[in-house]
Amino acid sequence: MTTFVTPYGRSGASSRVRVFEWLDRIDGDHEIVSYVSHRNASPRYLATHPASVLQAERRLRRLARRPVGGSVFLHREASPLSRGGLEQRILEAAGRSIYDFDDALQWDTGEGALHRRLAPKSAKALAAVGAADRVIAGNTALADWASAFNDDVVVIPSCVAPERYRVRSEYAIADPPRLGWIGSPNNEPYLSLIAEALRSVHRRTGARLTIIGTTPPQLGALESMIDRIPWSEAAQHEQLASFDIGVFPVPDERYSYGKSGYKLLQYAAAGVPCVATPIGVNAEMIDSMGLPAASTSDDWTESILHLLGLPEADRAALGKRARSVVIANYSFDAWLPRWKRTVGIA
């Protein structure tokens, strides 16, 4: 039997994509140990659910003492309160162990709030990579780092299920034009990086920005052009096709080079052309999809206006090309045989 250890429940993006979506596609005997089964493990949530936290910590320590026998698949971290020792013990106690990560946790050294300094993810990632029998990395940048500490590293990208997305069928631009973004509250401030470009496009075309994610406003002056939709699995599969153009800005910093490019894959699954910062795997993805890259504010303005101004047939061709790339190279169906072999599931 394989035990899958995750820091979040199914509503947590990384756990859903890296664990739960795979388990939806397999049969066999397995169990899931999901910390407090919430969408995140924020200090506020943990502080208001002390009984759940205590139960989770006890469950993980029992797992770390379990006699050698079964397999363990650990995604990201076992506990937000650990500094790496717990993850190391869980992996070393298993008969066979796999560590899976899809973000540049090795460069998350705990800057910022107190809780981040007390339990930096970099120490946990290093301990887990060194203790696991095999490592699954979400991209080559992560794999290159992990290979310095583990001889068995396999790259499996974060995947999407294109068949679950409503696909855009008409490519006439809405009135007003509809730009779109999807993501978590932690990443939403990245939209401020292109605020000037978004305001410029808004002034010229009247375009509005739909955000699928958090609902409380946190983007200041941009809020006057923003419409918000609460995130849900159903919303992400249904609403992306209403975007004329998706946007995916990321900061030019080391952590960004380890990201999985997931928003790009989601837009493409819905057949929506997008503009993205060409950092890390984003650069490879947008090149294969024939989509525009943007680094400066002027780039962003020109690229968005260019896509909005294309003939309808040309926008349709871009959307269909992007979707075909996702189906062939970044879908669960395309990668399932390799994932099963890597995890050791028949």
Residue 229's domain is classified under what CATH number?
A: 3.40.50.2000
Distance of CA 64 to the CA centre of its chain: 28
Residues 260 and 181 in one domain: yes
What's the pLDDT band for 219 if we cut at 50, 70, 90? very high
Question: Are 140 and 192 in a shared domain?
Answer: no
Integer Cα distance of 139 and 159 in angstroms: 11
pLDDT for the residue numbered 118: 62
176 and 151 in a single domain? The answer is no
8 Cα distance to chain centroid: 13
Q: Where are the beta strands (DSSP E) in 127-280?
A: 134-137, 153-155, 178-182, 208-213, 226-230, 245-248, 274-276
Asked whether the predicted pLDDT for residue 46 surpasses 90, the reply is: no
Do 308 and 224 reside in the same domain of the chain? yes
Is the pLDDT assigned to residue 170 strictly greater than 80? yes
Cα–Cα distance between 204 and 165 in angstroms, integer?
A: 31
Q: Do 60 and 187 belong to one domain?
A: no
Please give the residue range of the domain that contains residue 254: 162-329
pLDDT tens-digit series, residues 282-314: 999 999 999 999 999 999 999 999 999 999 999
CA–CA gap between residue 269 and residue 129 (Å, rounded):
31
Q: What type of residue sits at position 216? A: P
In sequence order, what are the residues at sequence separation of 6 or more whose Cβ sits closer than 8 angstroms to the Cβ of residue 311?
none
The alpha carbon torsion through 185, 283, 6, 335 (nearest 10 deg) reads 140
Q: How high is the pLDDT of residue 110?
A: 66
The dihedrals phi and psi of 331, each to the nearest 5 degrees, come to -100, 155
Residues 131 and 268 in one domain: no
Widest Cα–Cα separation across the chain: 66
Both 200 and 127 in one domain: the answer is no
Instruction: Give the residue-averaged pLDDT of 317-336.
Output: 98
Count of the separate structural domains present in the chain = 2
Does residue 116 register a pLDDT over 70? no
> Over 60: is that where the pLDDT of 142 sits?
yes
Our CA angle for 276, 167, 213, nearest 5°, is 55
Secondary structure, 3-state, 154-184: EECCCCECHHHCCCCCCCCCCCCCEEEEECC
d(CA 323, CA 330): 10
- Work out the percent of the chain whose per-residue pLDDT is above 70: 97
Task: Say which residues have a Cβ less than 8 Å from residue 48's Cβ, sequence separation at least 6.
Answer: none
Tell me if residue 230 falls in helix, strand or coil: strand
C-alpha angle 212-217-223 in degrees, rounded to nearest 5: 90
Q: Please report the pLDDT score of residue 111 as a whole number.
A: 65
At which residue do the structure tokens 């003939």 appear?
Answer: 311
pLDDT grade, residue 38 (50/70/90)? confident
Residue 119 has pLDDT above 70, yes or no: no
The whole-number pLDDT of residue 117 equals 59
pLDDT at 32 over 70: yes
What is the Cα 222 distance to its own chain's centre?
A: 24
Token pair of 230 as six digits? 């609460």
- Tell me how many degrees the CA angle 327-332-335 measures, rounded to the nearest 5: 90
Token pair 């363990």 is found at 72
* In a shared domain, residues 14 and 110: yes
Considering the domain architecture, whether residues 86 and 111 belong to the same structural domain is answered as yes
Q: Tell which residue, 160, 158, 139, has the closest CA to residue 269.
A: 160
For residues 199 and 322, state if they share a domain: yes
Question: Is the separation of the CB atoms in 83 and 124 below 8 Å?
Answer: yes
pLDDT at site 112: 57
Res 221 pLDDT > 60: yes
Pair 201, 255 in one domain? yes
- Say if residue 10 is in the same domain as residue 126: yes
Q: Where are the extended beta strands (E) located within 277-323?
A: none
- Checking if the pLDDT of 318 tops 60, the result is yes
Calpha distance 235→229 (Å, rounded): 8
Give me the CATH number covering residue 80. Answer: 3.40.50
How high is the pLDDT of residue 126?
96
Q: How far is CA 150 from CA 136, 187, 203, 280, in A?
A: 11, 30, 52, 22
Q: What CA–CA distance (Å, rounded) separates 17 from 159?
A: 7
